[in-house]
Amino acid sequence: MTASTSPTSALVLGAMMFGTAVDETTSFALLDRFVERGGVWIDTADCYAFWASGDGRGGASERVLGRWLAARPGVRERVKIATKLGAEPLWADAFPMRREGLSTRAVRDAFAGSRDRLGLESVDLLWLHMEDRTTPIEETVEALAELTESGRVARVGASNHPAWRVERARAHARHLGATPIDALQHNSTYLRPRPGTNPTNHPFGVLSDEQRDYAQTHGLEVWAYTPLLSGAYDNPAKAIPDIYDHPGTAARLEALDEVAAELGASRGQTVLAWHVARGIRPMLGGSKLEQLDVAMDAVRLELSPEQLARLDEPA
């Protein structure tokens, strides 16, 4: 994000469950409200949501977005579409051992499928969803270069990748004179997981201090998925996951409660504001209009330097 980014455009609408757990009518309502309130970025993937679909394959989310875009003439000029490739299972129940991966052929075929489902000639950001150690990262970069040079992809990003592979990919893109990766997407929330644990199913899924430092040093955007712990900050019926149960959590929750009270906001809203204050785009994957409204109110909150320091202080 830049200094000129408007508050509401900092929030990303995650469309992961559109077309599966979230029906099409509700999905359209969420998308309409998001645009109405000044939202810009919508995030999906070719594999969403294979685990919730009837046939064990992804594509439902992109199809819903495609139908929404077709039904809303002119809205394409108001939104930016990001999608991902690399994680779609080759057949039902094949994930994670047998997935499309990031070879030249896989990138070409997967992106062609995404364009068809979205009904778009181009996307604003294409993510490498997860690592593929069976394919040299240089091969993947060259496949991405074909897409950026043709104008079908404006920008490329890496999700759940270690910093060293991102650097290697960026170096090869610069060597080719191609568009380098300029965005990272990782799991990030205010609470910190217990050392030695991982709340994601990706070895490098959690945003680390090194990855954030790398992004800040080289001017890469950072996007944060699952920032609200699926509602556990505010919903008494949802316990904070055990993975965050360690001595440091109590101090962070105390600081969070203090700042939230000063802002007149909820814990979750303060967590979203904390991300924005740190230059990170939080991603919302809610399924209700009221959840979206609360989140879009949250990114308008301004933390003072003193409040931000207090939130960052607990170990």
For residues 183 and 88, give the distance between their C-alpha atoms in angstroms, rounded to a whole number.
21
Question: Which tokens belong to 278?
Answer: 């740190």
Is residue 171 included in any domain, yes or no? Answer: yes
Q: Is residue 313 part of a domain?
A: no
Domain holding 221, by residue range, is 8-238+268-303
Q: Quote the strand ranges of the chain, DSSP E.
A: 12-14, 41-43, 80-85, 125-128, 156-159, 181-187, 221-225, 280-284
Flag whether 275 is in a domain. Answer: yes
Cα 304 off chain centre by: 26
Number of domains in the chain: 1
Collapsing DSSP to helix, strand or coil, 41 comes out as strand
Q: Give SS3 for 110.
A: helix
For residue range 285-296, what is the model confidence (pLDDT) as tens digits? 989 999 999 999
Catalytic, 244? Answer no
Give the whole-angstrom CA distance, residue 160 versus residue 203: 8
φ and ψ at residue 192, rounded to 5 degrees? -105, 135
Say which CATH number the domain at 32 has. 3.20.20.100
Catalytic: which of 48, 214, 225, 233? Answer: 48
Residue 254 lies in a domain: no
In a domain, 294, yes or no: yes
Nearest to 152 by CA among 83, 88, 219: 83
Query: pLDDT tens digits for 56-85?
Result: 999 999 999 999 999 999 999 999 999 999
Q: How far apart are CA 75 and CA 191, in angstroms?
A: 36
How do the pLDDT tens digits run along the chain, 315 residues long? 543 457 889 999 999 999 999 999 999 999 999 999 999 999 999 999 999 999 999 999 999 999 999 999 999 999 999 999 999 999 898 888 899 999 999 999 999 999 999 999 999 999 999 999 999 999 999 999 999 999 999 999 999 999 999 999 999 999 999 999 999 999 999 999 999 999 999 999 999 999 999 999 999 999 999 999 999 999 999 999 999 999 999 999 999 999 999 999 999 999 999 999 999 999 999 899 999 999 999 999 999 999 999 999 986
54 found inside a domain: yes
Residue 50 lies in a domain: yes
Secondary structure of 167-211 in the HEC alphabet? HHHHHHHHHHCCCCEEEEEEECCCCCCCCCCCCCCCCCCECCHHH
Residue 86 gets the label, from left (phi > 0), alpha (psi -120 to 50) or beta, of left
Residue with tokens 């959590």: 249
Is 243 inside a domain boundary? no
Task: Count Cα neighbours of 177 within 13 Å in the Cβ-side half-sphere.
Answer: 1
Residue 28, burial from CB neighbour count under 10 angstroms (0-12, 13-18, 19+): middle
**Rg of the chain's alpha carbons, rounded to an integer?**
19
